[in-house]
Amino acid sequence: MNTQRRRGDVGRGLDLLRATVAAIILEQRAAALVGAPAPCPPGWLLSEATVSPGPGKPSGTGSGGTYGDADLAASSEEDEAERSRLIALVDLARSGDKEAFGLLYDHYHPSVHRFLYYRTRSQQLAEDLTSETFFRALRSMNGFRWQGKDFGAWLMTIARNLCTDHFKAGRTRLEMTTEDMGTHDAPTEGPENAVLASLTNEMLMEALTQLPDEQRDCLVMRFLQGLSIAETAQVLDRSDGAVKQLQLRGVRNLAKLMPEGVRD
């Protein structure tokens, strides 16, 4: 059931990304017809409403006594009991409890692997980098400190740095496979649906690999991972405002990367 839910979340994220790119394309078409600059982005494109990561991240109830950061403990889980459980597991794990870390691994592994898969487009490489992410996290647990963000954001930072280092080292290149990424069947009535019908998930995934690293990572985390603006900002080490601009530029650049038949 959890796997099906995660796949559903990714599917909704892709649908939302497609709809957002389609809206930008239509705006650009309209502006071209009247010879005017593209209009200002709609407010929702720069807001948390773009994705639905769940409620805000209320402070948790973990101990954190040894480290003096209990008041900053937080989790993005919707269920209060689950938030408290995860925060408690983090506190146990950083004190050396390997079983607690194993439970954290079970919880966060799917989201870390999913991020790395969409970042690399290689199942084997994603698995290798996911394993290395958790190995490094385990080795560094006693240095983890709460900063008012979900523990998963820390893991995502490790994963992203590993991925960046891997490609910088030139050990491989991005693969353009689209395994498990089906096309989207949409009605064709009206200009909006016509654009949506011509956009496929394959086009989006291929275009994502052509974006600058930060824009690509921002869109993957926001749309496919469901991270909030604040969580994405922590992973990218940027301000919330910078993440909003990265998201806007990324979506606009995606629209420009669509084939001419879709854009015209």
Assign residue 195 a region (left: φ > 0; alpha: ψ between -120 and 50; beta: otherwise): alpha
Identify whether the C-beta of residue 112 lies closer than 8 Å to the C-beta of residue 162.
no
* Residue 59 pLDDT > 80: no
Q: How confident is the model at residue 88 (pLDDT cuts 50, 70, 90)?
A: very high
Confidence of residue 29 (pLDDT cuts 50, 70, 90): low
Say what the pLDDT of residue 195 is.
60
Q: Which residue has the tokens 């040894």?
A: 66
Which pLDDT belongs to residue 263? 60
**CA-based R_g, the chain, Å:** 20
The four Cα atoms 211, 215, 218, 219 give a dihedral, to 10 degrees, of -50
Task: Indicate the pTM of the whole model.
Answer: 0.54
Q: How confident is the model at residue 54, as a pLDDT? A: 41
The lowest-confidence range among 56-60, 86-90, 124-128, 200-204 is: 56-60
* Least confident interval from 24-28, 122-126, 142-146: 24-28
Q: Coil, strand, or helix at residue 187?
A: coil
The whole-number average pLDDT for the span 123-151 is 88
**pLDDT greater at residue 83 or residue 202:** 83
Q: Per-residue pLDDT for 53 more than 70?
A: no
Confidence category of residue 264, pLDDT binned at 50, 70, 90 = low
Other Cβ atoms closer than 10 A to 6: 14
Six-digit token pair at 241? 């405002």
Q: What is the pLDDT of residues 186-234, one digit of tens each?
A: 333 444 455 666 677 788 888 888 899 899 989 888 888 878 888 888 8
Q: What is the pLDDT of residue 108?
A: 92
Given a cut of 80, whether residue 185 has pLDDT beyond it is: no
Q: What one-character DSSP code corresponds to residue 74?
A: B
Gap between the Cα atoms of 177 and 137, Å rounded: 29
Extract the tokens encoding 145. Answer: 């400190």
Q: For position 147, what pLDDT does the model report? A: 87
Helix residue spans in the chain (DSSP H): 2-34, 80-93, 98-120, 123-139, 151-168, 190-198, 201-208, 213-219, 229-236, 240-257, 260-263
Q: How confident is the model over 73-92, as a mean pLDDT?
A: 89
Q: Which residues are CB-neighbours of 243 under 8 A, at least 6 positions away?
A: 218, 222, 229, 232, 233, 236
Q: Other CB atoms closer than 10 Å to residue 252's CB: what's the count? A: 20
Query: What is the rounded distance in angstroms from the CA atom of residue 15 to the CA atom of residue 20?
Result: 9
pLDDT at 64: 55
pLDDT of residue 123: 85
Q: What pLDDT was estimated at residue 176?
A: 32
Structure tokens at 182: 């089906």
Instruction: Please check the confidence at residue 16 and state whether its pLDDT lies above 80.
Output: no
Q: Output the pLDDT for position 4.
A: 44
Q: Which residues pair with 59 in a beta bridge?
A: 74
Residue 138 has pLDDT above 50, yes or no: yes
78: its two tokens? 């919707």
